[in-house]
Amino acid sequence: MTTKQLSIQRYLPEQGSAPYWQDFDIPFDDSTSILDALNYVKEELDGSLSYRWSCRMAICGSCGVMVNNTPKLGCKSFLREYEGPVKIAPLAHFPVEKDLIIDMEPFLDHLAAVQPYLINDSGLINGSGESEETFKQTPEQMEKYKQFAGCINCGLCYSACPQFGLNPEFLGPAALTLAHRYNLDSRDQGKKQRMPQMNREEGVWSCTFVGFCSEVCPKNVDPAAAVNQGKVESAKDMLIGIFKG
Amino acid sequence: MQQQDIDIVIVGGGGAGLRAAIAATESARKENLQQRIVLLSKVYPMRSHTVSAEGGAAAVTSAEDSLQAHFDDTVAGGDWLAEQGVVDYFIRHAHQELVQMERWGCPWSRKPDGSVQVRRFGGMKTARTWFAADKTGFHMLHTLFQTSLKYPEIERLDEYFVLDIAVVDGAVVGVIALEIATGELTLLRAKSVILATGGAGRLFRFNTNAGIVTGDGMAMAFRHGVALRDMEFVQYHPTGLPGSGVLITEACRGEGGILVNKDGYRYLQDYGLGPETPLGKPQNKYMELGPRDKLSQAFWQEKQIGRTGKFGDSDVVYLDLRHLGKEYLHERLPFICELAGVFINVDPVNELIPIRPAVHYTMGGIETDANCETRIKGLYAAGECASVGLHGANRLGSNSLSELLVFGRLAGEQASQHAATVAFADSSALEEQAQAHKTRITQLYDAEGEENWVELKRELVLSMETGCGIYREAEGMQATLQAIHDLQARYRNIRLQDKSRAYNTELMQCLELGYGLDIAEATCLGALERKESRGAHKRLEEGLQQRDDINYLKHSQVFFNADGPAELRWQDVDTHLSAPAERAYGDAGKGIKQ
Amino acid sequence: MAKQTSYFPELKRDWWLKHPYFKKYMAREATVLPLVFFLVCLLAGLFSLLQGAQGWQGWLQFMQNPLVIALNLLAFMASLFHAWTFFQLFPRVMPLRAGGRTVPPHLMVLGQWLGVLVVMVLAAWILMGGL
C-alpha cells in the first residue's frame, strides 16, 4: 500500500501555548478519507490527537477541518484527491481549543440569534384532535426554501468567509441562511421578528459576496445566495420602515 | 467539583432527548411549575445519530390505512415479541407527533395539493411512511434542535460526557458528568433523569452507525440493576455500502428499487417473499418490501451458495434503481445519489449499487414500563437505548423515528410530573458516588497497564460479528462470550497514552469501550440462551431454526453482576391483543391476519 | 470552570493572498480602480468643456495619450469582467420563477448579456443619429 504524508497542526494548551506541525505517514487507497487518515493516526501512531467526528457520512457536520487551506468535511474528502503532502489544520476563523478542535460556541450563538424556528401562533398542537392538521404547503412553496434547509451546521462556510474572519460579530453565512430559510417558509410568520438582526451591520450587510462559502459548502446549500437574497429583503424592509416613519 | 440542582436531567441530545426536553418544558408550563431542565450530550445535539436516519417515520395517514393494520404489521414484524399495549399506544400517537413536527417546520415531502406525502416501507401493509426526501432524520433532528432554541427553559450542556447516574434506595438522585472541554467533573442533583443515549451498533465491526453510538446509557442503567431486555435482537440492515457500512435507505426499495444477486436474479423470491413483483411496481410486503431481518438472512443464504458478487473485499448483492430515472432519483433519493457517488464512485442513475447487510439498530435496551420508567424510580429511558417493548424481535423500518417522538414526549411529560412530586435527595450519597468516579478517572490516568483500547475494541467488534451475526450457533456465541470476559479482564489493565485533561478524546473512547463490553456481554448472553429462531435472532442448530412459542415467547432480561458473569431471566410478553400466529410475507402471507 | 486558553489565529492583512479564490475575489473588487480613473477622466472632460475651447482641446489631447488610452481600455475590460461576475451572481440573488419552476441560471445570464447588447446598439444608434 502506498503512503502519503499528512502534516497536522497540533495545539496542546496544557503543554505550552504555540501550535506546531507534526508529520505522519499514512497508508492509503482510493477509499481512504481524511477522517480515516485521522483515525489511523489516533489508533496507530499518536493517541493524543484530538478531533471531532461522528457519522462519517457527511450529514452530522462534526469533522470540518482545513485541508491545504480549504475548509472540508474530513469524511467527504479523500487522500487520493491530493498531490503531495496534505496539510490539516483546525477550521479557520474560530478559536482553537485543542489540536483540530475549535470553539463552536460563537457559531451556535449566531445561530440562536436569528430565531431559527418556525414562528406561527398555531405552532403547538394540543393533541385533542381538533387541530391535528398539518399546514398546507405545496411542493412549489417548499422549493423556495428547501435548498437553504439543507445546512448541517458544519461551520465550513465561516472558515471560508474572510468577513467573519475579520469580524467575529458578523452573524455569518449559516445563521443568515437559516434566518432566510424560515423567512421564505410559507408557514412562517416570524420575518418581522428576524429582520432587525438581519438589518444590522453585523447582519447581511457585512457580506461582500466573496462567494467562497457556497464553494466550500458540502451540501450545496449556497449560503451566499441566501445572504444576498437577505440583502434584498433587508433593503425592502428598511425602505418600508422609512416610509412608515 | 461543581454541583447544581436540576429538576429534570436529560442525557442525550438526539431526537428522543430533544423531544423529551420540549415535552418536559411544555408540561411544566402547563402545570405552572418552575422546573430546571438540563439537556446533556456528549456531542452538540445536531451531531446526534438521529441525523443519519434517511427513509422516514411511520404513522397511519391515508384513508385506506387503519390503526389496526399498523398494529398488526408492527406486532407481526416483531415476531410477536412486542408489548402489545405499548404498540397500541404507539400507533395511536404517532400521527399526532408527526403533525407536531410539521407544525414546528419539518419539511416533509408533499403532494401537489400541499398535503403530506407518504411512501412504502418494508413489512408495512400500505404506504404510511412520512419522509423529507431521504434525509428525514436530518430534518427531524434539526427541526427539533431549532425548536428547542425557542424554549429558554431548556438549558444545554453540550459536550458533557455523562459517566454515571447516581442511585439511592432504588431512586435516581442525579448524574455525574465530565465536561469534555476541561476534563472536570460536574454533579447534577436531579429529581428525574431521562436516558436518551441511543443504540449500541458500534459493538459490531461492520455497521451503519455513527462513532458515538456506543450504548453508554444502556450500560449505566445496567450497572445499577436495570435489566437490559431483548438485547439479542440486533438488526442487520440489508443495504449498507461495502467498506464503510454507510446506510443506503430502505426507501430505495420503497420507491421501487430491486435487489439482484451477481447473476442479475431477484433472489428474494427464493426466500418466501415472492412471487416476483413487476419492475417499477413494488408491492407492500412482497420481495424487496419484506422486513429487514428476512432480507438480511436471504443475503447470508445467497452467500452460502456462492451467488453474491465482490466489491473490494466485501461480498455483495446489488441494488438496482436505474429504472426510476434521473429526475425521480434526484427528487426522492438525492442523498443516496450523493453517498453512492462519494463513497464508492457509483452513479445510481446508470449503475447498480453494491450493498451488503450491516448492523443498524438495537431492538433491545433499557427495560422500561409502558410509561418509559425503569425499575429505578425517576429514571426514564426513551428512543433506541430503551426497550419499551415496541419492536419485539425485529423493528420495522420507519417505526423508530416515530418512536423517538412518541416516547420521547411521554418520557418528558412523565419526568416532569414525577419531579413535581419528589424532593431532591440528600446530596451526600451523590457526592460519595461522584468522588468514586473521580478516583476512578484519576486511576485511569495514572494506570501503567499494558493494554490499549484500540486493540481491545478491535477484538470486541470482530468477535461480536463472528459470534452474534445474522446467523448464530452456540459454539460461536460461547467463544464470543468467553472473549468478552477476557476483554473485560484485560480492560482493567488499560493504559491511556493521552494524559491531558482538555478534550481527551482517548479517555472518552476508553470509557465507551468499558460500557460497550458490559452491553456486549448482555447481548451475547441473551443470544446464547434464546434457543429458538425469532425475528432478527436466527439459530443454525438443528431443532432451533424455528420459533418456539412454548418456551421462548418471552423477553430476555439480563442483569448486571459486578462480581461475576451477568444473569439472565425470562419475562412474559404482553400478547393480549393479538395471539401469536405465523409470520409470513409474499404470497405466503396472503389470508393470514396481518 | 475555567476553559483552557484557546489559540486564536489572527487574520493578517494579506489574507487574500492565501487562496486562489480570494485572489479572484480581490481582482473582482479591484476592477473599481481603473473605473475610478475612467470616471475622473469623464469629470475632467465636463470641467474642461466649461473652461472653453482651449480647455476642451487640452482634454482631447490628454485623452489621446497612449497611456490614458491604455488605462481606459483597461477600465473597459474591467467593467466587462465585473459585469461577467455580476451576471453570474445575479440569478442566485434574484431567482426568477416562471410556471412554478425556477428559471435556469444560464438563461438569466444570457438575458443579461442580451440586455448589454441592446443597450450598446441603442447607444450607438443614438450617437450615429446625433452625427
Cα B460 from Cα A213, distance rounded (Å): 42
Indicate if the pLDDT at residue B158 is higher than 80.
yes
In this prediction, residue A15 carries a pLDDT of: 87
Does residue B369 sit in the same domain as residue B390?
yes
B182 shares contact with chain C (CB less than 8 Å): yes
Does residue B187 sit in the same domain as residue B162?
yes
Residue pLDDT, tens place only, B490-503 = 999 999 999 999 99
Does residue A52 sit in the same domain as residue A70?
yes
Q: Which chain C residues are Cβ-neighbours of B178 within 8 angstroms?
A: none
Of C7, C21, C100, the CB nearest to A96: C7
Does residue B225 sit in the same domain as residue B77?
yes
Name chain A's partners: 3 or more CB pairs within 8 A: B, C
Average pLDDT score over residue span B538-558: 97
**What sign has the CA pseudo-torsion B568, B572, B574, B577?**
positive
- Which residue in chain B is spatially nearest to C100 when comparing CA positions? B112
| B502–C4 C-beta distance less than 8 A | yes
Dihedral in degrees, nearest 10, Cα atoms C24, C30, C35, C39: 160
Residue finishing a domain among A87, A102, A117: A102
For residue C124, what are the contacts with CB-CB under 8 A and spacing of at least 6?
Answer: none
Residue finishing a domain among B515, B541, B567: B541
Does residue A116 sit in the same domain as residue A156?
yes
pLDDT tier for residue A129 given thresholds of 50, 70 and 90? very low
In this prediction, residue B594 carries a pLDDT of: 45
Q: Are the CB atoms for B472 and B538 separated by under 8 Å?
A: yes
Average pLDDT score over residue span B77-87: 98
Q: What is the DSSP letter of A90?
A: P
Residue in the block written with cell 414546528: B104
Counted domains in chain A: 2
Average pLDDT score over residue span B126-151: 98
The range of the structural domain enclosing residue B160 comes to: 2-233+363-424
Number of residues that this document lists for chain A: 245
Does residue A194 sit in the same domain as residue A137?
yes
pLDDT tier for residue A209 given thresholds of 50, 70 and 90? very high
Average pLDDT score over residue span B43-59: 98
Does residue A148 sit in the same domain as residue A174?
yes
Calculate the alpha carbon distances from B392 to B65, B557, B575, C19 in Å: 22, 13, 11, 55
3-state percent helix, strand, coil for chain C, nearest multiple of 5: 75, 5, 20
Does residue A117 sit in the same domain as residue A163?
yes
Average pLDDT score over residue span B286-302: 97
Instruction: Identify the CATH number of the domain in which residue B369 sits.
Output: 3.50.50.60
The ranges assigned to domains in chain C are: 15-130
| C4–B179 C-beta distance less than 8 A | no
Q: Which chain B residues are Cβ-neighbours of C4 within 8 angstroms?
A: 181-182, 502
Its ipTM equals: 0.97
Cα A155 from Cα A109, distance rounded (Å): 13
Does residue B169 sit in the same domain as residue B259?
no
Does residue A133 sit in the same domain as residue A233?
yes
| C11–A166 C-beta distance less than 8 A | yes
Cα A207 from Cα B476, distance rounded (Å): 61
In this prediction, residue A1 carries a pLDDT of: 75
Structure-block grid coordinates of residue C36? 475610478
- Where does B305-378 have alpha helices with state H? 326-332, 334-344
In this prediction, residue B345 carries a pLDDT of: 95
Cα B108 from Cα B131, distance rounded (Å): 6
3-class secondary-structure state, position A229: helix
Share of chain C above pLDDT 70, in %: 95
Instruction: Identify the CATH number of the domain in which residue A34 sits.
Output: 3.10.20.30
In this prediction, residue C96 carries a pLDDT of: 85
Q: Is the peptide bond before B282 cis (omega within 30 degrees of 0)?
A: no
Among B74, B163, B138, which Cα is nearest to B436's? B163
Of A95, A215, A229, the CB nearest to C21: A215
Does residue B321 sit in the same domain as residue B380?
no
A61 shares contact with chain B (CB less than 8 Å): yes
Residue finishing a domain among B336, B358, B380: B358
Structure-block grid coordinates of residue B465? 460479528
Cα B19 from Cα B13, distance rounded (Å): 9
Does residue A94 sit in the same domain as residue A109?
no
Residue in the block written with cell 430476555: B556
- Those of residues 177-196 in A touching chain B at CB distance below 8 A are 178, 182, 185, 187-188
Mean pLDDT of chain A: 94
Closest CA of chain B from A181, distance in Å: 10
In a domain, B560, yes or no: no
Tell me which of C1, C4, C7, C28 to substitute to probe the interface with A (most A C-beta atoms closer than 10 Å).
C7
- List residues bridging with B236 in a β-sheet: B359
Indicate if the pLDDT at residue C5 is higher than 90.
no
Of C5, C19, C22, the CB nearest to A17: C5
Average pLDDT score over residue span B292-313: 97
Average pLDDT score over residue span B365-393: 98
Average pLDDT score over residue span A116-134: 71
Indicate if the pLDDT at residue C11 is higher than 60.
yes
Tell me which of A210, A234, A236 to substitute to probe the interface with C (most C C-beta atoms closer than 10 Å).
A210
Does residue B376 sit in the same domain as residue B346?
no
Structure-block grid coordinates of residue B49? 445519530
- Where does B181-333 have alpha helices with state H? 216-223, 251-254, 292-304, 326-332
Residue finishing a domain among A102, A122, A138: A102
Share of chain B above pLDDT 70, in %: 99
pLDDT tier for residue B591 given thresholds of 50, 70 and 90? low
Indicate if the pLDDT at residue B12 is higher than 60.
yes
The range of the structural domain enclosing residue A218 comes to: 105-244
Residue finishing a domain among B388, B403, B424: B424
A237 shares contact with chain C (CB less than 8 Å): no
Does residue B489 sit in the same domain as residue B395?
no
Residue pLDDT, tens place only, A68-86 = 999 999 999 999 999 999 9
Give the CATH number of domain C15-130.
1.20.1300.10
Share of chain C above pLDDT 90, in %: 70
In a domain, B126, yes or no: yes
The CA-to-CA distance between both ends of chain C, in Å, stands at: 81
Residue pLDDT, tens place only, A191-202 = 999 999 999 999
Residue pLDDT, tens place only, C48-66 = 999 889 999 999 999 999 9
Structure-block grid coordinates of residue B323? 429504472
Does residue B58 sit in the same domain as residue B114?
yes
Residue in the block written with cell 452491553: B519
Does residue A145 sit in the same domain as residue A209?
yes
Of A14, A120, A178, the CB nearest to B501: A14
Counted domains in chain B: 3
Q: Which chain B residues are Cβ-neighbours of A47 within 8 angstroms?
A: 452, 454, 496-498, 506
Does residue A114 sit in the same domain as residue A204?
yes
pLDDT tier for residue A125 given thresholds of 50, 70 and 90? low
Residue finishing a domain among A46, A73, A102: A102
Mean pLDDT of chain B: 96
In this prediction, residue C2 carries a pLDDT of: 42
In this prediction, residue A128 carries a pLDDT of: 43
Does residue B305 sit in the same domain as residue B385?
no
In a domain, B164, yes or no: yes
Show contacts of A141-147: CB within 8 Å, 24+ apart: A141/A186, A141/B114, A142/B107, A142/B110, A143/C102, A144/A184, A144/A185, A144/A186, A145/A180, A145/A181, A145/A182, A145/A184, A145/A185, A145/B107, A146/B107, A147/A220, A147/A221, A147/A222
Residue in the block written with cell 428474494: B268
What residues of B are annotated to the active site? 292
| C93–A98 C-beta distance less than 8 A | no
Does residue B34 sit in the same domain as residue B87?
yes
b/e string for B3-27 if b means 16 or more Cβ within 10 A?
A: eeebbbbbbbbbbbbbbbbbbbbbb
Q: Which chain A residues are Cβ-neighbours of C19 within 8 angstroms?
A: 69-70, 212
Q: Which chain A residues are Cβ-neighbours of C25 within 8 angstroms?
A: 210-212
Strand pairing class (B386-387; B365-367): parallel
Q: Which chain A residues are Cβ-neighbours of B197 within 8 angstroms?
A: none
In this prediction, residue C102 carries a pLDDT of: 79
Does residue B69 sit in the same domain as residue B173?
yes
Residue pLDDT, tens place only, B428-482 = 989 999 999 999 999 999 998 999 999 999 999 999 999 999 999 999 999 999 9
